[in-house]
Structure 1
Amino acid sequence: MLPTKNLLSDEGSPYLRQHAENPVHWRPWSRDALAEAVRLDRPILLSVGYAACHWCHVMAHESFENEQVAEVMNRLFVNIKVDREERPDIDQIYMAALASMGEQGGWPLTMFLTPDAKPFWGGTYFPREPRYGRPGFIQVLNAVDAAWRGKRANILQSAQELSHHVGQRLGGSAAPAELTAEAARTLASGISGLIDRELGGLRGAPKFPNAPFMQTLWLSWLKSGNEKHRDDVLESLEHMLRGGIYDHVGGGLARYSTDAEWLIPHFEKMLYDNAQLVRLLNWAYAASADELFRIRIEQTISWMLREMQLPAGTFASSLDADSEGEEGRFYTWTRAQIETSLENDSLIFFKYFSLEKPAAWEGDPIICQTPAQADLALADIETVRAVAERLLRSREQRVRPGRDDKALTDWNGLAIAALAEAGRSLDRKEWTSAAAGAFEAIVAAADQDGRLPHSSLGDRRLFPALSSDYAAMINAAVSLFEATRDSTYIDRARDFLEQLDRWYLDATGSGYYLTASDSADVPLRIRGDVDEAIPSASGQIIEAMTRLASATGDLDLERRAWDVGARATGRIQGQQYGQAGIVNACVLLLEPKKLIIVEDPTEPKLVPVANRSPDPRRVDIILTLGEQSAHATLPGDELPDTKKAGAYLCAGLSCLPVINDPEALEAALRRR
């Protein structure tokens, strides 16, 4: 029997520990908490959020820290708190249930469940007192209790039907569908039609970076040469990198802007957004040679290494939006603060930057750039860098926003891949080394059976991992293999795939679940087909299998990837906007590219061309003259001639004649 008190103080999640002093008798999600609800025959109040979530903090201060609210919660419900970053499997189930009720999702997620964990009603943020057109939270609690006592039979029936619907939607199977380029063309055309032609990104507000959509457009350009789709991405990146959503003092991108102009950020900074940004910028810089993209890569990675790197070498999950009880206080500036920090050089600052305070924003002004200022800054980058560094030193004296120090395996996988790829493209070996260090730290966190954790915080580990963790680490391993030429990364990737097959493969052998087969506390096993701010688990798995098959020449693995892609495509028929990750991964599968370069490493001529021409569809294998490698197989199971330098570029089953000239290789790599 669980004690009648708050049980969050010993949890490994910083978000859960933020609520450890609440008078609410919170339980972490567990079999014991679910059993308590059954034993007491009480509904469950499920609250889902994350450490950097501003409105989660607001609801906590207003309601969960309030004795009167807590008394009602403790008397009527079994109260369970979930960190959505630790348990995205739980979050996705109940977020889908909320959407099925016709409600808009978001965090904090507030759901009411039957004692056997079936959802029957919910919402997001509720104020303590009635306002914003919303009822007060105590009103909500009492109304739910009254409905539960007076209409239990109806609630149980509707909860059963809703759970069945969610289970079919998130965990069901479908017949395989043919993989064609048409789905990707249709999706890219649809996304392009949603682009804001004046401001970039998708039309309207709020504005999110939406990396999966940007990748869809980029892949469309790479495949078809559709320059409109390329420009959709380049122009969207330019707008957000000049706007207030970008931290012009310290580097890094905020999670989203609350307005349509990319000006007013929601100031939380997430590892996954910035990892995906670095990868997109690496492609954009290679295609455009726009120095803005290179500079933002450097600034963003500097921020990651300075503010997000943990002692083990992994990366923290997020930085809070709030400090000193105020959203954005750490990041905003008044003119007087700028002048105090820079003294006579403040005029230099205002030449290159603006301070904006729109009517919708109650805080201090936000730093941004006009297009003209961004151009000026590029022409005088050392002056701009010196001014920004002085402001950064001044800002470091402020009270910092909280950092969520848990290292999530899948988010770290994204960061590792981005660092390895950017380090290779821009010849920054220290970035590649940081990627390798983070990779080794994740591997070292595995248990005695070699199983990865989903989350690590100090010496605490959350097992088992999710399928997205293994997929992200396979992709990270392939990127590190390309950057370092170290084949042990391929061996590690194969180990990860074995774990994925053992614990997550479905009965058909051609699909995967998000949760492991021995996860004992999930109400249902879901596929992980739906994108969030990052590609879905299914999309990452297909990409990982495709890239590993290309790197190893494993035709059986390539055929398996086709089967997984066909099954996933069958499940998402007619709903690709929420599953762009699967569509994008199937683009890689339709025509995987491989480049094998044989060269004298003391006189590289071809390798630098490949390094500065990144292509998400391509896996590169670099061999030294005379070296033999089982990985470096060409279609037809042939091996390249390693007695002389040359580049072998293949797409699918066909290869170009061997290329010896760097200019010819560059032309071949850039050909659409």
Structure 2
Amino acid sequence: MGFNNIKMQNLLINETSPYLLQHAHNPVEWYPWGEAALQKAKTEDKPILVSIGYSACHWCHVMERESFENEEIAAIMNKHLVCIKVDREERPDVDAIYMDALQAMGLRGGWPLNVFLMPDAKPFYGGTYFPPRNWANLVESISNAFKNDRQKLQKSAEGFTQNMLSKESDKYQMNIGEAGLQISEEDLNTIFNRLHKDFDFEKGGMNRSPKFPMPSIWKFLLRYYSISKDKRALEHLIHTLDRVALGGIYDTIGGGWTRYSTDEDWKVPHFEKMLYDNGQLTSLYAEAYALTRDDLYKEKVTETIVWLEKEMMSDEGGFYSALDADSEGEEGKFYVWSKQEIDEILGNEASEFCDVFDFSEEGNWEHRNNVVHLESRKFMKDGFPLTQEIKQKLFDYRSKRVRPGLDDKILCSWNGLMLKGLIDAYRYIGTQKFLDLALLNAHFLLEKMTIKVANEDGNESRGLWHNYKNGKANLVAYLEDYASVIDSYTALYQVTFDEKWLFEAEMLADYVMANFYDSEDEFFYFTDIQGEELIARKKEIFDNVIPASNSMMATNLYNLGTILGRNDFIEISNLMLAKMKTIMLTDPQWVTQWACLATQHTNPIAEIAIVGDNYLTIRTLMDKKYQPNKVFVGTNEASKLPLLQNRTTKKGETTIYVCFDKTCQLPTTDIEKALDLLKQ
């Protein structure tokens, strides 16, 4: 029987994850992560293979084609191992544990992630991609070592597991100084100057290749510049944002950002499109537009949201996870062009287009293919050849191609990031459509991905689901889900002043405090205490492409605590940030979301209360001036929120109250006076 025969299937056939279903007809006897596989390993006394990937991962597909679809190699795997397939996007908790183990082994992490475990699920060896013959030989070697040198393997596994059980505060020597939390402008200067040493001043971004979008680094530059007015920060920010907007990493024809640039020029992307990148970059470019009023940034935000609504949003209002890099088995085939195609489509306009975008018969990439990219704005003046008409011709032609695969599972955490992107786009650009989409998505999260539990006192509490597909959710949410949704609900309140979203955020934050907080280590676990018990309960501390769930929660608690008058929230946030200060000052590149929170402590946060019929309009006008360190509350009549207590209109006119550190300025009905108060 050939491996393509539809009758051949393994236990993944009953899963909903697109990534797992892609492997459901492999000759490998895959199991999903769960008790059945773990018990089989104990009963049969076999080592376990945990193979982790995701549907848009190019090298995951390559290893599947080369090894997991190979009947000879599959037979070796089935004989010697219990094989478990994991979608890292559905099970980030499992992925985090075994990625941590791989790095403790001194190996470089990445996906596909292949880790070998003892029957008790403790890891002893691993790696990422292996060519087929190497993989077959490795499986044979693992089996021999398990049979003949088992004590040594078990000792290694115990050591790696013990390393994972160490508390983060101990592992990274996170201590609070005698002064407690104090963040000065000089501290921010130190953080920036250390980052500055690693900037790529010629190409933009950080001085390394491949180049990944790192939104929290650039968001820190925005926040730092707003305080310091250091032109170096603004210049590098604009240079980087331009390169990321104009380069091949952005889909100029269809909208939206791809995963990363495989080179140092932001030219050739890894073509997968991930929701979490597009959510965060939408926020970043909207915020950058608020500072610069640069129409290029507004255009990229708008195009990206148009693409998201058209291709990535379900009928129910949830956003799908990703578009694959590959189509027809070839990376980037959907997105690249031959010169002959351009000549046929554009006719007389082709020559100028090819000159500007460096298209040729030989191609500006591999296999005579061309990638649409620019290296600077110098071609964006009069005569720039990418008119809306030309773009539409190319879009229509491309739409007839075989499309990349869609990962149509809906993840709570990534939807939270995308919801925040829509809210920021509406907040700073003002397009009503952006708010309409945000509300559609927020109601989807509230209705389909929220667990509502009745308490004994008659009130309800809130929890979240992590995933949703085909009308159901089945995985309990992780800290990343709560962190991103709390952030987006808090932001949604501040553009609508609908208190429902604020109180949803508060209920979720209370749930996190009760079920995720480690009072000894003073950080939050990644997993719910009521979730599945794994060999270690990890904490996510360091920011990466997506900020760490702990840095997001610390920010949430600070902002929510300020709006709600919850000093308990603020105290925990301050404690967390204080423990991170030494790392921020010495190695800030991986703690820039923490550094963004630090910028809120250099000067007191502005508390802006708006009362009266024009409260929504006044909020819009107050946001015309970029000032990120502020929170809004508003009502047209009355509210029980602490910052709105005893606040009334002045002679019937909408009135603005500006306060700093529990000290209020005189109320005013004059927007210009209110803006002047913010400058103080």
Q: Give the TM-score normalised by structure 2.
A: 0.90
Q: 2:458: which partner in 1?
A: none
Q: 1:35: which partner in 2?
A: 39
Alignment of 1:134-145 (within 5 A): 136-145=134-143
Provide the C-alpha distance between the structure 1 equivalents of 2:585 and 2:154, rounded to a whole number of angstroms: 31
Provide the C-alpha distance between the structure 2 equivalents of 1:49 and 1:304, rounded to a whole number of angstroms: 24
- Alignment partner of 1:649 is 2:658: yes
Q: 2:459: which partner in 1?
A: none
Change in 2 beyond 3 A, CA 1:359/1:137: farther
- Alignment partner of 1:595 is 2:608: yes
Alignment equivalent of 1:484, drawn from 489, 496, 500: 496
- Alignment partner of 1:302 is 2:302: no
Alignment equivalent of 1:621, drawn from 633, 655, 661: 633
Deviations 1:52-105 (A, max 9, x none): 000110001000110011111111111111111111111111112111222111
Q: Give the AA of the match of 1:594.
A: E
Report the identity percentage: 32
Provide the C-alpha distance between the structure 1 equivalents of 2:98 and 2:316, rounded to a whole number of angstroms: 34
- Alignment partner of 1:216 is 2:220: yes
The runs of 5 or more residues in structure 1 that have no matched partner are 130-135
Where 1:460 maps in the other structure, the secondary structure is: coil
Q: Give the AA of the match of 1:491.
A: F
Comparing 27-36 and 258-267, the one that deviates more: 27-36
Alignment equivalent of 2:565, drawn from 546, 553, 559: 553
Cα offset, 1:578, TM superposition: 2.6
Alignment of 1:423-434 (within 5 A): 423-434=426-437
Alignment equivalent of 2:19, drawn from 12, 15, 21: 15
Q: 1:180: which partner in 2?
A: 182
Contact 2:327–2:333 under 8 Å retained in 1: yes
Q: 1:133: which partner in 2?
A: none
Provide the C-alpha distance between the structure 2 equivalents of 1:141 and 1:589, rounded to a whole number of angstroms: 53
Q: Give the AA of the match of 1:181.
A: I
Alignment equivalent of 1:453, drawn from 451, 456, 465: 465
Deviations 1:162-200 (A, max 9, x none): 111122165968655533326654333222211111110
Comparing 103-112 and 578-587, the one that deviates more: 578-587
Change in 2 beyond 3 A, CA 1:260/1:46: same
Provide the C-alpha distance between the structure 2 equivalents of 1:347 and 1:601, rounded to a whole number of angstroms: 53
Change in 2 beyond 3 A, CA 1:270/1:615: farther
Alignment equivalent of 1:369, drawn from 374, 378, 386: 374
Cα offset, 1:334, TM superposition: 1.4
Provide the C-alpha distance between the structure 1 equivalents of 2:22 and 2:606, rounded to a whole number of angstroms: 47
Provide the C-alpha distance between the structure 1 equivalents of 2:114 and 2:616, rounded to a whole number of angstroms: 61
Where 2:346 maps in the other structure, the secondary structure is: helix
Q: 1:631: which partner in 2?
A: 641
Q: Give the AA of the match of 2:472.
A: R
Q: 1:132: which partner in 2?
A: none
Cα offset, 1:360, TM superposition: 6.3
Change in 2 beyond 3 A, CA 1:602/1:57: closer
Deviations 1:266-322 (A, max 9, x none): 001111111111111112111112111111111111111111111211111111000
The alignment's C-alpha RMSD in Å is 2.7
Q: 1:147: which partner in 2?
A: 145
Comparing 160-169 and 101-110, the one that deviates more: 160-169
Q: Give the AA of the match of 1:216.
A: F
Where 2:607 maps in the other structure, the secondary structure is: strand
Contact 2:67–2:73 under 8 Å retained in 1: yes
Alignment of 1:166-565 (within 5 A): 166-168=164-166, 176=176, 178-181=180-183, 184-347=188-351, 349-350=353-354, 353-355=357-359, 361-362=366-367, 364-372=369-377, 374-376=379-381, 384-445=387-448, 446-449=450-453, 450-508=462-520, 510-565=522-577
Where 1:418 maps in the other structure, the secondary structure is: helix
- Alignment partner of 1:51 is 2:55: yes
Contact 1:426–1:612 under 8 Å retained in 2: no
Contact 1:184–1:584 under 8 Å retained in 2: no
Change in 2 beyond 3 A, CA 1:583/1:288: closer
Change in 2 beyond 3 A, CA 1:295/1:319: same
Change in 2 beyond 3 A, CA 1:30/1:253: same
Where 2:114 maps in the other structure, the secondary structure is: strand
Cα offset, 1:352, TM superposition: 5.9
Change in 2 beyond 3 A, CA 1:423/1:496: same
The runs of 5 or more residues in structure 2 that have no matched partner are 1-7, 454-461
Provide the C-alpha distance between the structure 2 equivalents of 1:368 and 1:269, rounded to a whole number of angstroms: 17
Q: Give the AA of the match of 1:328.
A: G
Q: Give the AA of the match of 2:544.
A: E
Contact 1:511–1:568 under 8 Å retained in 2: no
Contact 1:314–1:441 under 8 Å retained in 2: yes
Provide the C-alpha distance between the structure 2 equivalents of 1:523 and 1:470, rounded to a whole number of angstroms: 23
